[in-house]
Structure 1
Amino acid sequence: MSDELVHVLTGAYALNAVPDNERETVERHVRQCTACAQEVQELTATAARLGTAAAAAPPPAMKRQVITRIQTARQLPPQVTDADVVRRPTTGRARHMPRLVLAACVAGATAFGGMAAWQSQEAQQAGQLAQQAREETADVARVLAASDARSASGSVKGGARATVIVSRSQNSAVFLASGLPELPDDKTYQLWFADDGTMRPAGLMRRDGGVVMEGDIGKATGMGVTVEPVGGSSQPTTTPVALMALPS
């Protein structure tokens, strides 16, 4: 890995958003580079402050929901290698197994194969979701790590808190929210950029957390949040629950 790339990874490293092999490289570099060490320290402190600004106590029902889901989650079958299989010689009796028993074995093997395929698909989907989460975290880290990142905080109707971080050099903005009221299944929160009074769609979110707003900042001077039907709207259909000026 080149020195130039290591310098770029300091922001992602401060947010714990790099894989183990890159983490070791960054840590070796930070021990030798005073400028990067200071940058990591400052970014870590900034991320901690932002996390505190957007922190929220978990809902009382969360523990019960987690325990319930754990009880119903299916485990992946153990992986069996050739070394684990004890091979037995085939006897004449086994060769002449009744057809009904053979059919039952085939049916059982088919059912097991279907279950294994389902579990493999579930594991693949989980891996894709994890990769997507890593990419989204890296995108957030990229904006937070920008040298010109600026933030502004405000409130959302219902008692929630919100923070928007803007990097003009990256032409991107990150929106963080904590304490958002739960919405019905057919509703979602939609983000907007405000361009001289015109609202431009900037992504969706259904729960607390941080997201990179979709689209370039461009000439936007503000942003807003509305409650829209699932899938979003081309223009706001409700009164904004939050309006904030973008930091310059």
Structure 2
Amino acid sequence: MSTAELHTLTGAYALHALPEDERVAFERHLGACEACAQEVRELSATAARLGLAVSVTAPPGLRDRVLRDITTVRQEPPPHGRSSRAGAPAGRAGRWSTYALAACVAAAAAFGGVAVWQNQVAQDARQETDRAQQHNEQVARVLTASDATTTAADLGDGARGTVVVSQSVNRAVFLASDMAQPPGGKVYQLWFDDAGTMRSAGLMNPSATDDAVLLDGPVDRASGMGITVEPAGGSDQPTSAPVALMEFGAA
């Protein structure tokens, strides 16, 4: 995917509407594009506010009333005080009326358009709520699995990390407590340890000090997990010393 194409994904990313491969590519792009990062922050805040708004439908008959009124309201003369005069090209008044009609129709349509747009934003917010609920249900499945194993570690400066693994569910959850926020432009990235080969397991929310993260992908044969500090958007392989390495407990 080209950089030009990535610049167009801010809106879809803010609404969590990107497929997994495009989301990963765009998050990497965010680490190098402050303009897109700023736009995502603004769009996310706006979407959150609008998602709580109630759509307002235009009053009944508004469009018909506007179209009726434009046939009786006198058109203002052209600018600079030059009204119709002898020698003026035939059809000018007709063209002005056409422009006024088009503008009024567009204005009337806009009332309905705003309601449709608000409905779409609200629908997107509901879909995001559904995704959050599905995430919480998956986390609960791991935490309550009969074969769940738990490993805890001291992450320094009072922070604690706990990883819960269920082989039957084939997923893992990382629980963070009192973690310091990463440096500006950085993010904590989680990794599965596949016999010494690190496999990306997703990113933590950089603004959350307490978090429950469902690791991306299946556990499979992973024997543990690690945490590193990476550029915003994450890395294909760890680029810094691990903040923590944790072995998965035996069932």
**What's the TM-score once normalised by structure 2's chain length?**
0.58
Distance 1:141 1:109, change over 3 A: same
CA displacement at 1:79 relative to structure 2: 5.2
Match of 1:216 in 2: 218
Match of 1:189 in 2: 188
Q: Equivalent pairs: percent with the same residue?
A: 49
Once residues 54 and 212 of structure 2 are traced to their aligned partners in structure 1, the CA distance between those partners, rounded to angstroms, is: 31
Match of 1:123 in 2: 122
Distance 1:210 1:95, change over 3 A: closer
Distance 1:94 1:234, change over 3 A: closer
Per-residue CA distance 1:118-163 (angstroms, 9 max, x = gap): 3223212211211110111111122122111111211224432211
**What's the TM-score once normalised by structure 1's chain length?**
0.59
Once residues 234 and 151 of structure 1 are traced to their aligned partners in structure 2, the CA distance between those partners, rounded to angstroms, is: 27
Distance 1:110 1:184, change over 3 A: farther
Structure with max Cα Rg? 2
Unaligned runs of 5+ in 1: 1-68
Match of 2:228 in 1: 226
Match of 2:168 in 1: 169
- Asked if the contact 1:157–1:242 (Cα under 8 Å) also holds between the matched residues in 2, the reply is no
Per-residue CA distance 1:31-52 (angstroms, 9 max, x = gap): xxxxxxxxxxxxxxxxxxxxxx
- Asked if the contact 2:57–2:115 (Cα under 8 Å) also holds between the matched residues in 1, the reply is no
Once residues 134 and 121 of structure 2 are traced to their aligned partners in structure 1, the CA distance between those partners, rounded to angstroms, is: 20
Q: Give 1:1-248 correspondences, 5 Å limit.
A: 73-74=49-50, 75-78=53-56, 85=60, 94=69, 96-98=71-73, 100=75, 105-184=104-183, 186-206=185-205, 207=208, 208-248=210-250
Once residues 244 and 148 of structure 2 are traced to their aligned partners in structure 1, the CA distance between those partners, rounded to angstroms, is: 21
Once residues 197 and 103 of structure 2 are traced to their aligned partners in structure 1, the CA distance between those partners, rounded to angstroms, is: 67
- Asked if the contact 1:136–1:211 (Cα under 8 Å) also holds between the matched residues in 2, the reply is no
Once residues 231 and 74 of structure 2 are traced to their aligned partners in structure 1, the CA distance between those partners, rounded to angstroms, is: 57
- Asked if the contact 2:57–2:112 (Cα under 8 Å) also holds between the matched residues in 1, the reply is no
